[in-house]
Amino acid sequence: MLRIGMLTSGGDCQSLNAAMRGVAKALYSARKDVKIIGFEDGYKGLIYGKYREMSDSDFSGILTEGGTILGSSRQPFKLMRVPDENGLDKVKAMKDNYAKLKLDCLVILGGNGTQKTANLLREEGLNIVSLPKTIDNDLWGTDITFGFQSAVDVATNAIDCIHTTASSHGRVFIVEVMGHKVGWITLHAGIAGGADIILIPEIPYDIDKVVKKLEERNKKGKNFSILAVAEGAISKEDAALPKKELKKKLAENPYPSVSYKIGKEIEERLGQEVRITVPGHTQRGGSPCPYDRVLSTMFGAEAARLILNKEFGKMVAMKNNEITSVPLEEIAGKLKTIDPECAIIRDAKILGIGFGD
C-alpha cells in the first residue's frame, strides 16, 4: 500500500484543486494500492491530527473549482518551533502524525513560508514532495507558479473595466494590485491592461516623476490616466529609511494603503480627480484560467512521478518551459523578485510606460 499525505497551506489560489487532482489521478493510474490522506486547513491539520481518508471520487469534478477542498491556513514558519498555547511541540506533533498514519510521502502545496516548513520537515527525516503555489510568482527555482496567471487575468480585467469610466470622467484611476514584496502581478496586469504608470516594490518611485508623467499625458490631450500600483509599492524616500524607522512610519501612516497616499499626493500637485480601485481578494478567487489548469495538472503529474521513483525532498518546478524539480534546500527561504533591468521592464519603458523612477 502506497500511503500519501496531502495538504494545502498559506493563501489560497485558483488552481490548488487542479494540482491535487493531477497528483491523485497520476498516482491512481500508476498503482491500484494508493491511499491518500488529506490534512485539513494546512499544517494545522498535520499538527493537530485533523485529516480524512480520500478516494478517487474526491478528486473528480474539481479541475475548474477555485479554492481548496482541504481548506488552508497560515502557519508562520518562524513560529513552527515555538510551542503552541498548550505547550505542544508542533514539529514533533507533525512527525508523530506522519508516523502514526504510516505515510510514505507528504505532498505539500504552497508558497514561500510553506516551502520553508516543507524543507524543515525534510530535514527532520520526512519524505516530502512539494508544489509551487502562489499568485505572487515569487518562488525561487521555478519560472512560474500556478495561481499567478489566474490572478493576472483578474487584475487585468479590473484595469480593463476602469478604462471606460476613467475616459468618460477624465480622471486619474489607481488600481491597487496584490503583491507586498514583489510586483509580478502588477507588472503583467499593468502591461496587459494598458496602464500608463506601473509602480512595483522592486523600483521605488519618485512622486515628482509620477506627476510629471501625468502632466505629459495631459499636455498631449489625454484626459485620463491609469496607474497599476502594487500594494507593496514604496517611495524612494521610504526605501532609503532603516527598517526600524520605516516600520514606525508605516505604523503611523493615516492612509489605508499606499494607493491612497499616492492618490492624495497626485490630487494636491495636479489638481486632477483621483479614484482608487482595489480588486483585493478577487485576485485569489474564481475558477482557474486554462493556462493554470494545464500547468497545475502537469505539476501534479510530475509530483506523482517523483513519489513513484522515491525522489523525495524536491519541489516541482518549471525551468525554460520544461517541467522539472529542484531540491527543497536550494529554494526554501529565497524570494524571486523582478530585476529592474530585465527585458520586460526595458521594453515597457520603450512603450512609454512610467515606473516612477
Catalytic residue numbers read 136
Distance CA 352, CA 357 (A): 13
Question: What are the C-alpha distances in Å from 21 to residues 70, 105, 115, 166?
Answer: 12, 17, 20, 42
Instruction: Write the DSSP string, 224-288.
Output: -EEEEEETT--BHHHHTS-HHHHHHHHHT--SSSHHHHHHHHHHHHH---EEEE--GGGGT-SPP
Q: Which residue has the cell 502557519?
A: 75
What count of Cα atoms within 13 Å lies in the side-chain half-sphere of residue 56?
9
For residue 319, the surrounding DSSP H or E stretch is: strand 314-319
Distance CA 163, CA 32 (A): 54
Name the maximum alpha-carbon separation found in the chain: 72
Instruction: Write the DSSP string, 55-105.
Output: -GGGGTT-TT--S-TT------GGGTTS--TT---HHHHHHHHHHHTT-SE
Evaluate whether 63 touches 18 at the Cβ level (below 8 Å). Answer: yes
